[in-house]
Amino acid sequence: MVAAILANAGEEDREKLQAAHTPSEPPTSTFDDLSVAAEPAPRHRTISDLPNELLSAILAYLNTTPPSTSELYEEPNINLTYAETTNLKSCSFVSRRWRQAIIPSLYKHLRFMFKNPDRVFQNFDLAEEVVPLLEFVKRNELHRIITSLTILLADDPFQLHIHYLIRRTGVVKFWQSVFGAMYPLELIIVAPPLILGDLASCRVALQDATDFESPYHYLRLQRDYLAITNSHGASSSKGSEDGVKTELAAEVASDAKGDEAIQALLPTTPVLNKYAMAARPGDPEEEGFEEPRAEASILFEIGEWTTILLNEGSFVKAYSATEFWLKNSPSILPDLLSGPGTPQPPLITSTIREMSYIGIFPMHTHFEYITANFPRLDRIYVQIVPRNLILDDEARVAGVDIEDLWMERNGCYALLMRELFNAPPMGNYQYITNFESGDAADKDGWEMAKEYVKRAGNGWKISRDGLFVREITDPR
């Protein structure tokens, strides 16, 4: 190329070009030469060049709704928290800087699963089992990040023995430890009915347990973050609703962290005896066996909860038994909503204003625990028709008259709607402003409900499919 240029250049230009391409000694650098040296070519920017704030904002888009949000309304199983994608966890493995950036999303919804104890016939202490998790939370100050905690206890062949061990060691220390390290806005428990009862200080009848097929129940407790705003003085005008919840969780958690704060939340030792549930000798599966009940539930009293959800799974198997309507489902409902005629008050606390009940075709005799002992609520949600294909499973409906299922469904709704739409409503029913059915997909049933409400009147209006609302002048 240089030769071609020389052939077409003039004499003077040819001499300059030849001089420029003639090898010579490298010039000696001087200060003046350095002052006019060409700048290096700019390098391409990467995500590593972003400031921490922008990196965190980008990674936050990977933060999706936890699977438990929707799965809570399905038939309970131990895989409630299972997610097909693990983008947050994968990003945390990229580098230390990425892990720091992803932590607010990674530990926002915390899960703890009790492993099946290999030493089941030795000491099994709930409080000791959770120590490693709580130490990790405290060491990394995750109490400012955690907004929800899910506790899972797998079904175990030694469940009855675990039940006795829990009763012996108690749950007071366990819940003290958990809420001393964090103060989540939401708590979800996935456990067999008997163990769920232990954690909630509720007795669970097991006499007819083998007639039912519901190895797990769900219990979700939530606190209203707006109510926390009022009680803790935080502002709800910052950022999105989700961001506000995180801020409030951090503020409340910081208030509740440490031994001094937890002592402020709980009564002193003499009063703690009311939470005790002694392990009484005998077999809870024997007919007529009755164990003592705690005076109060530390789980409900420690949290300032405002919302409760209970999913008791399927009752379908019991319909194959003779006189199925007399069967007692293993459930925390009897102690949770003890009626005025019982020796002890209900364990559900007065702070709870919203309740959701899910069960697959519960008997009306069981559902009556709710309607006959209705707590002081503003909102009630009921779902008793399955969303899955359980009725198409021949093995699960063997020996069951399908008509019985629908008759009991009608019986449950009749008990509730008669009280809700009574003119005037009596007792705690007078405070309900929002009644939602999760079974509006059953068009025939929904049309019947609409006609019933229209005839009853009493201020109720149809807001949308499945939702009835009304205004009351004095909610108290």
Output the pTM of the full model.
0.80
Alpha carbon distance 64, 356 (integer Å): 24
pLDDT at res. 50: 87
Q: Give how far Cα 22 sits from Cα of 29, 37, 156, Å.
A: 19, 22, 88
* Contact indicator for 236, 228 with CB cutoff of 8 Å: no
Q: What is the pLDDT of residue 185?
A: 94
Determine contact, residues 220/240, Cβ cutoff 8 Å.
no
Closest by CA to 97, choosing from 59, 133, 61, is: 59
Give the C-alpha separation, 2 to 20, whole Å: 11
Q: What is the pLDDT of residue 106?
A: 87
Tokens of 244: 């506000």
Cα distance between residue 325 and residue 329, in whole Å: 10
Average pLDDT for runs of 10 along the chain of length 476: 47 52 52 56 80 87 84 92 85 88 87 69 75 92 92 79 74 90 94 92 90 94 66 37 45 46 48 54 54 84 92 96 92 86 81 96 95 94 92 92 94 92 88 93 81 80 90 68
- Rounded to 10 degrees, what is the CA torsion of 155, 157, 163, 165? -120
- Cα(166)–Cα(366) distance, integer angstroms: 27
Q: Of 354, 356, 358, which is closest to residue 379 (Cα–Cα)?
A: 354
Task: Please give the Cα distance from 113 to 474 (Å, whole number).
Answer: 44
State both tokens at 95. Answer: 């580098």
Coil, strand or helix at 401: coil
- In sequence order, the 6+-apart residues with CB closer than 8 A to the CB of 389 are none
